[in-house]
Structure formats: C-alpha cells, structure tokens
Structure 1
Amino acid sequence: MGFLRLAVFAAALAGGAYWALLIYFCSLRREALEKDWDTAPQAEGPAARDRFIEAGMADYEHSLRRKLLWGVLVLPAVVIGLLIYLVNYA
C-alpha cells in the first residue's frame, strides 16, 4: 500500500514538473523567435511574423530539448525502481 501511495505521489509530482518545464521552455523558445523576427525587420507584416513563429515552434516540437524533457518523467521512476530493488534484493 505504501508503494502505491509513493507511485501516485511521484507520478503527480513528475507530471506537474513536466508540464511546468514544458510551458517554460516553449515560452522561452517563442520569445527567442519573436526577438529574432524583431531584430531583422521584414516588410511582410504581422501575418508573416505569425507564420515564422509557428514554423519555429513546429521545429521545436521535434527538437532534442523537447525529447529530453521526457527524462523528467522517466528518470525518477527508474531511480526509485532501482532503489527499491537494491534495498530489497541486494
């Protein structure tokens, strides 16, 4: 029963941390794209700016940083599982 409570609490904590970091990193990337657009003024207008930012965010969706963020969910589960194994069976 204690393991179940630990698993639920750890999953909730890791999920919250994952979403907080995801929102933060996406916000940083969007800010960087907006600054890139603003430092080199183009004559296309606001619609082109929006397309530029959305294309950059689509590229971010497939980036390594986005994939490494899954470590926030996977790494704690692996460490806790390893610790439980070592304490009980080693």
Structure 2
Amino acid sequence: MSIKNHKNIATFMHLGVFSKYFIPFGNYIVPILLWSTNKDKSDFIDDHGKEAINFQLSILLYTVILGIFSFPFFIFHVFGDATI
C-alpha cells in the first residue's frame, strides 16, 4: 500500500468522529472499525487509530466527570433553597 493511502485511511479515522451526527455512537464505531481492519498494514495507521479512539474516550470520561460534579448544583438550583 502506498503512503498516500495510509494517510487517507488515517484521515478518515479522524473524520469518522463526525459520523456521530448520523449514527448513534458512530464517533466510537467508525474509528474502531477502520483501525481494527487496517492496523496491521502500517504503524502510521496503528498510531493514528489509537489516537482517534483515545481522544474520543477521553472526551467521554471528561463529560461524565463534569456531569457528576455539576449534578448537585443542578439539583440545588431546581429545588432552590429549602429554608423558610
């Protein structure tokens, strides 16, 4: 396979994140599928596939942590001050 083809596959791994707007969880599925089918062909593809998946999992983790920390503030705001 040519170098240009490797770069195209790596680009589609990173651009596959935008499939979340059309396919539920597409931002995880598309990069994982592209990476798992092409990771043995090149170290370049392997590295970029790992980076794309790692970034998406990191964003998920940060979102969950922020959600956990913001939940008490949201509940306090909805129910307001309980003092009479």
TM-score range, shorter chain: 0.3 to 0.5
Higher share in helix: 1
TM-score normalised to the size of structure 2? Answer: 0.41
Determine which structure has greater relative contact order: mean sequence separation of CA pairs < 8 Å that are 6+ residues apart, divided by chain length: 1
